[in-house]
Amino acid sequence: MISNRKTGIDLVKVFATFFVVSVHFFLNTEFYSTPLIGKNMDVQVFARMSFLICVPLFLIITGYLQLEKKPTKQYFKKIIPILIIYLFYSIIAIMVRKYYFKEHKTAIEWLAMVLNFNANNYSWYINMFIGLFLLSPYINILYKNIATKKQKVVLILVFLFITGVPTFFNLKAREVLFFPDFWVGIYPLTYYLIGSFIREYQVKVNKLTGAVALLLITLLETFIEVHYANGGNFTGAAGYYSSLVVVIHATIFFLLFYDINIKVNFIAKILSLISILSLDIYLASNITDKFVYQYVFTNVFKSQPQVIYYAVPIVFSTFGLSFLVSLIRHKLIKVR
């Protein structure tokens, strides 16, 4: 049983948090409405695919960390801090939308948006995570009652077949194969089981081999996207979070970093703090993005190929502001 805090897991959470903010750069600019023509847009596709593994990494981490959880009253009470954090950022988002961006809705309409996870536009993750949190201890019971390692591998392969394979192959553009896709929506369980398996067997990967594999899978995703766009707009041909290639990509990345032991104390502390605030930063970034990208379109943006040169300061600005908001919440409202 793993009891000590893993700096490698903190490191992966920091990457995942930064990747969330980074992939939203493409959401908040004109990437998806710009034809994929030229090397500049090829690089943007490569970056977008590199950062897309943000949510999958969080889901693998959940499976890794939750494996020993049991369905106790104490466990279920831990959902309350998550809901408080969600409510806090929903209220802040509503205030920003109402008083700064002059969005007019009735109190009932705002309340409905909180309840259906639309007040904060990035809070779909909370909508998903509530169910995953409640199911986790029961998934653990089922997983631990599978007798052998081989049978657990087969279970994961089955989940990949019903969630990852259809997402990757069932595209009209391919017009070749079609796989049963009814169960695609349960892809968070696929990632959860992968994390649980890595936790139980402490799976290792050669770092050089893993790095090469990571580069190759990202290049493959980039090639697929550029090829199927065929000079037009981004089509999502490689798939989204549930896609087989994205699952492979995220798993390789996790294996490269999760077992790293960082011994420099102040670095470990910084990683730990960002890791603790990762959910805050994710939700706060919806608010900071509104201000940052309003400034970008007013003062910086001329075209999508041009704005990529400002991507680093833009992303670090919204990440830094989100971190500050998260730190303030952490100091003022104790929920853990």
CA distances from 6 to 1, 227, 311, 321 (A): 12, 40, 31, 26
pLDDT for the residue 178: 86
Torsion on CA atoms 136, 51, 253, 162, rounded to nearest 10: 50
**1 pLDDT band (50/70/90 cuts)?**
very low
Written as one string, the DSSP assignment of 202-266 is T----HHHHHHHHHHHHHHHHHHHHHHHTTSS---TT-STT-HHHHHHHHHHHHHHTT-----HH
Question: What is the structure's pLDDT at 175?
Answer: 63
Q: Can you tell me the mean pLDDT for 146-172?
A: 94
pLDDT value, residue 5: 65
Mean pLDDT of the chain: 94
Residue 212 pLDDT exceeds 60: yes
Any idea what DSSP says for residue 320? H
pLDDT, mean of residues 313-331: 96
Question: Is 260 within 8 Å of 11 (Cβ atoms)?
Answer: yes
